[in-house]
Chain A
Amino acid sequence: MAMPTAVTTRDAVEQRLRAGGGDTAGLLLQGALLLSLLVALGVLLVLIGDILIRAIPVMTERPADFLTSPLSSRPARAGIIQGIVGSMLLMAFVAALSLPVGIGAAVYLEEYARDSALARLIRTNIRNLAGVPSIVYGLLGLALFVSAIGLGKSLIAGGLTLAVLVLPIVVITTSEALRAVPGSIREAAFGVGATRWETIRGHVLPYAAPGILTGTILSLGRAFGETAPLLMVGAIAGTFSGGGLGDMLTGSYTALPTIVFNWSGQPQDEFRSLTAAAIVVLLVVILLVNASAILLRNRYDRKW
């Protein structure tokens, strides 16, 4: 069989398989698939660009004033300081409540009760909780924290509601991080006489820490942008009545995303610009949170 010496076997096989021509339909398909991805990302770019352009009047004329002024019905004076403070306090609540409970639950599921019937029930339950629409958590907060426990439409009720909302996400991400720690680490610790808790505290948790941290940072970011449940538990028109921290926690309040919602219902152009500026602040926080989580994941991504 005559074969030109310059053509390697690989080239010959490829030529034969292609029957002389390139796979046009295949290239078209690849292009279409890439296009669908680029359309989604293009929308992201258009969104960010559009919001930035709309926010220019506020961001250039009074950036500091906008961040430090209270809410106002007069667009020229309105600011978002109450939303920033409210969101920060809410996040503190979420972190203080859902992180210890969520990480504890994940440790129980992964380290203590690997495959018992109870663990399976709890796991299924948590997966379903993660799929419950956030507005339903708002109803839980309204019925339980606002009405039954009697916290009223206060920041504490809002913080509890958000903490319950992100709990399943914290459990799921922490479980994944714990599962990534190989069993040999645990066996080594047991082998030198460590108890289960000593093994978890001294070995499993430190190795899983970057993964746990990434997951919890992301779930805090999710809680930061949640709006619907806060509307249910009354973070709508509320503004801080002033006073100390105690008044802030038990009085009416507002959060950054609910301000965005409130303002986007105002038809005047000035409010469009204000809304866009508030969205810029919201997005900056959320993008920073996500970027730090992604960096953390890449930095500490460990292959066992």
Chain B
Amino acid sequence: MTANTARPPAPLAAADLRIAVGRHRRERLIRGLFLGAAAMSVVISIAIVFSLVGNALYFLINVDKGALLADGWFPRRGLYDIATILAGTLIISGVAMIVATPLGLGAGIYLSEYAGPRTRRFLKPSLEILASIPSVVLGFFALTWISPNIVQPLTGAPLSNMAAAGLAVGILITPLIASISEDAMHAVPAYLREASYGLGARKRTTSLEVVFPAAISGVVAALLLGFSRAIGETMIVSIAAGGTGGSLFELSPFEPGQTMTAAMTALAIGSDSVRGAELTFESLFFVGMLLFLITLGLNLISDAFVRRVRRQY
């Protein structure tokens, strides 16, 4: 026994329990820093809206209204036909959805319902690698491989055409649709499958008529997000769709066409704007605002669908 342990413990005072003031101050400071970082996202959103709206309004007020319903999109001649770029955007993203819906959903169902753990471990990273290919690379591929080897032999289209760009955009959004729809089907509780098997249903009946309908909200969300990505896709259409230098109103996918995004790059790199020409700079922001509103709308609807899935199970 030492003398230390024999001494009675000092009485505990209220001051001992109170947090050190310096420590407390540091806590508040750090919390403030983190809050500031989180608030940055709101600042960015506001900055996006302001930078778009100001210039877009300037464009709308000053543009000759007839130029918005002209014979085509030719900023150099002051013709800003919105229908042309909307039609091009819809055709290319439509082709993309025709490709990506069966491929993406098929891949999603296979990964969620059929693939064993070992095939999954190999297939999922492969899809992630496909998803990581930059769109500028897919654009080059669309122009130099898809168009001459697939689209041109079948249709005799010119080298730059909307179908080739649409096919490449479809490949681009396939991994996205596959992974979101797989998540949705994966989230369907196992007891639904067991109940289905218990009634004597086969694997295909269970997958297509029990799991798929149960996950339908997530599947719709996946398709909407894919569509939104396709609409906002820029580099593939800029390289492969052939809209540089303006475009006439065009509905055939086997012709060159102009999308909102390709129109923007053409304006920005100067191939569609004469230096100092009035309104070309502002028209860039007008198209950007249109694009922003369309994709935001699609994303919000898809978000609502995702939340419905989460509430269900």
Contact = CB atoms under 8 A, between A and B. Distances in A.
Interface of A: 17, 23, 25-26, 29-30, 32-37, 39-41, 43-44, 46-47, 50-51, 54, 100-105, 107-109, 111-113, 119, 121-122, 124-129, 131-140, 142-144, 148, 164, 167-168, 171, 195-197, 218, 221-222, 224-228, 231-232, 236-237, 257, 260-261, 264-265, 272, 275-276, 279, 282-283, 286-287, 289-290, 294
Given A34-B114, A51-B137, A286-B132, A135 B265 contact: yes
Interface string B139-155: 11101110000000000
A129 B41 contact: yes
A251 to B, nearest CB: 18
A136 B48 contact: yes
B231 interface: yes
B196 interface: no
9 contacts: A29-B208, A36-B106, A39-B103, A44-B126, A51-B141, A103-B37, A136-B48, A197-B26, A228-B135
Nearest to A287: B129
A132 B42 contact: no
B129 A225 contact: no
B141 A33 contact: no
Contacts of A26: 202-204
Given A46-B145, A133-B232, A227-B235, A105 B123 contact: no
Given A108-B34, A129-B45, A260 B103 contact: no
B235 A108 contact: no
A122 B39 CA distance: 7
Contact of B231 (A108, A133, A171, A287): A133
Given A33-B106, A112-B34, A136 B52 contact: yes
A140 B48 contact: yes
Interface in B295-313: 295-296, 299-300, 303
A195 B27 contact: yes
A35 B126 CA distance: 15
Given A30-B204, A33-B107, A289-B132, 13 more contacts: A35-B106, A40-B130, A47-B133, A51-B137, A101-B40, A108-B37, A112-B34, A125-B45, A129-B45, A133-B261, A167-B41, A226-B134, A232-B265
A290 B145 contact: no
A124 B62 CA distance: 35
- Most chain-B CB neighbours within 10 Å: which of A102, A171, A228? A228
Interface in B169-225: 171, 174-175, 178, 200, 202-204, 207-208, 225
Contact of A100 (B37, B55, B202, B238): B37
Nearest to A171: B41
Contact of B238 (A29, A50, A261, A275): A261
Nearest to A218: B132
B234 A133 contact: yes
A228 B265 contact: yes
B130 A44 contact: yes
B6 interface: no
Contact of B203 (A23, A138, A276): A23
A175 B55 CA distance: 35
Contacts of B268: 138, 142, 231-232
**Main secondary structure on chain B at its contact with chain A?**
helix
Given A46-B145, A135-B232, A135-B288, A41 B133 contact: no
B47 interface: yes
B5 to A, nearest CB: 24
Contact of A43 (B54, B171, B208, B299): B171
B11 interface: no
Nearest to B132: A290
Given A37-B110, A232-B268, A260-B137, A139 B40 contact: no
Nearest to A41: B126
A25 B204 contact: yes
A-B complex: 3 closest residue pairs judged by Cβ atoms: A133-B232, A225-B134, A36-B106
B31 interface: yes
B137 A279 contact: yes
A260 B140 contact: yes
A195 to B, nearest CB: 5
Interface in B249-302: 261, 264-265, 268-269, 284-285, 288, 291-292, 295-296, 299-300
A40 B174 contact: yes
A260 B140 CA distance: 8
